[in-house]
Structure 1
Amino acid sequence: MERALHPHFFFGMDLKELADALVGLGCPPVKSPDMAQQLDKRARQLMSERGQSYEDALAHLLGLMRQGWAAKERGL
């Protein structure tokens, strides 16, 4: 089941939960722990660079990842 990308969903989420959410969005399970760490790090960078909340930054990044996996599945 695909999880919603509502920003409040991510508040207080640990890396294991983020990795599980990534799998639900199409990330290969074997790559999800590393991807979760990378996304967490980048979301924190965006917080600092753009003045976004962590949740908004993470939701944005996950949206991009989901679009990429969907395009890959369609062969684009």
Structure 2
Amino acid sequence: MARIRKSASRWRIIKRSPPADVQALVGEGQTLVMTEKDAVKCRAFAEDNWWFLPVDARLSGEKPDKLLEHITSLVR
């Protein structure tokens, strides 16, 4: 997360810190393994001992098609 301040009609980041769920789990010097999605959020302040795992999740069966139809109907 970033704390942002407006100054002279311009916005600037004044402090970057890990999202709250990451802060709660990691002490200084600890190794962290997270999903690739979370790693993108932590890129600016990641430590050398922070690692990510790519996730390629897929739904199977007939229900994913019904779920996609439902989501599509909601956004139209």
Which structure has the highest helix share of the two? 1
Larger radius of gyration: 2
The answer, yes or no, to whether TM exceeds 0.5 is no
TM-score, L = length of structure 2 = 0.21
Greater relative contact order structure (CA < 8 Å, 6+ sep): 1
TM-score, L = length of structure 1 = 0.21
